[in-house]
Amino acid sequence: AQSVAQPEDQVNVAEGNPLTVKCTYSVSGNPYLFWYVQYPNRGLQFLLKYITGDNLVKGSYGFEAEFNKSQTSFHLKKPSALVSDSALYFCAVREDSNYQLIWGAGTKLIIKP
Amino acid sequence: GAGVSQSPSNKVTEKGKDVELRCDPISGHTALYWYRQSLGQGLEFLIYFQGNSAPDKSGLPSDRFSAERTGGSVSTLTIQRTQQEDSAVYLCASSQIWTGGRYEQYFGPGTRLTVT
C-alpha cells in the first residue's frame, strides 16, 4: 500500500538558517513525488516534483528537494529561510500506475526573525 | 491563464440544509479532484473525475455527499442534510490528462463550509 510520512508536525528555524522538512514514502512501483505549500487561508500551491532524472529537484521560491531511493525519502530544503516561508507544507506521492495522490499530514514551518 | 476557481468562498448553513459547492477547473484539464481539509489538517480525498470515465467515488464519507461534472468541465459537490462534522474547507484541484501520473494538481482557493 502507498503511504507518505511527514514525521515532524512542526519545524522551527531562525531566519537565514537552512531549513529541511522531511518526507518519507512507501510505494510498490516507481514513485512520483510532490511538494505543496499552503499559506494561511489560501489554497495549496505546487512547489516542485520528482518524476525521473536528477535526484536534486529545484522548485519555486528557492526550494529544492532531494530524491533518495535507498532511503525512500524526498526531503524539502532551502539554504536560507525567510520569514515569509512560514506555512504548512505537504508531501505527496503517486505510484506510476495510480492516478491518486497520497498525501502526508503536513508540516508546519515557522521561521522566526 | 486563469487558475482553478471555486464558489462560494465561504458558506454558512444550518444543520440539515443542503449545500452546493462549485469548481471551475483550468481550461483543458481533464482530471478533477475534490478534497476536504479540516482545520490545520491534511487532505482527505473525496472524489476524482477523469474525462468521460466513471468517477472514483471511493472517498465520499457518506451517501449524503455526491458530485457531478458537466461537459467535462465544471463540477458541483453537493452535501445533503448537512451535519456539523461536515464543517471544513473543501478544495478542488485539476490537472492535465493523466498519463503516468506525472502531472501536478492545481488547486482552487477552497470553500470554507460552516454548519451551525
pLDDT digits 0-9 by tens, B16-35: 999 999 999 999 888 999 99
CA pair distance B76, B81, nearest whole angstrom: 16
Q: What pLDDT score does B99 carry?
A: 58
Could you tell me how many residues make up chain A?
A: 113
Compute the residue count for chain B. 116
Retrieve residue B19's grid coordinates: 449545500
Q: How many angstroms separate the CA atoms of A12 and A80, rounded?
A: 13
Among the partner residues A32, A88, A104, nearest to B101 by beta-carbon distance: A32
Across the interface, whether the CB atoms of B109 and A43 are under 8 A apart is answered: yes
User: B109 to chain A nearest CA, in Å?
Assistant: 4
Grid cell at residue B112: 470554507
Residues A65-112 have pLDDT tens digits of: 999 999 999 999 999 999 999 999 999 998 876 778 899 999 999 999
DSSP A101: P
* B66-96: pLDDT as tens digits: 999 988 789 999 999 999 999 999 999 999 8
Categorize the per-residue pLDDT at A58 as very low, low, confident or very high, splitting at 50, 70 and 90. very high
Whether A88 and chain B come into contact, CB under 8 Å, resolves to yes
> B50: closest CA among B96, B116, B18?
B96
* Contact call for B48 and A104, based on CB within 8 A: no
- Closest among B60, B31, B24 to A98, alpha carbons compared: B31
Nearest residue to B94 (alpha-carbon basis) of B39, B43, B50: B50
Substitution target from A91, A95, A99, A100 for chain B, most B beta carbons within 10 A:
A99
pLDDT at residue A20 is higher than 80: yes
Residue A19, pLDDT > 60, answer yes
Query: What does the H/E/C string look like for chain B?
Result: CCCCEEECCEEEECCCCCEEEEEECCCCCCEEEEEEECCCCCEEEEEEEECCCCCECCCCCCCCEEEEECCCCCEEEEECCCCHHHCEEEEEEEECCCCCCCCCCEECCCEEEEEC
Q: Are A42 and B109 within 8 A, CB to CB?
A: yes
**What percentage of residues in chain B have a pLDDT greater than 90?**
69
Identity of the residue numbered B48:
Y
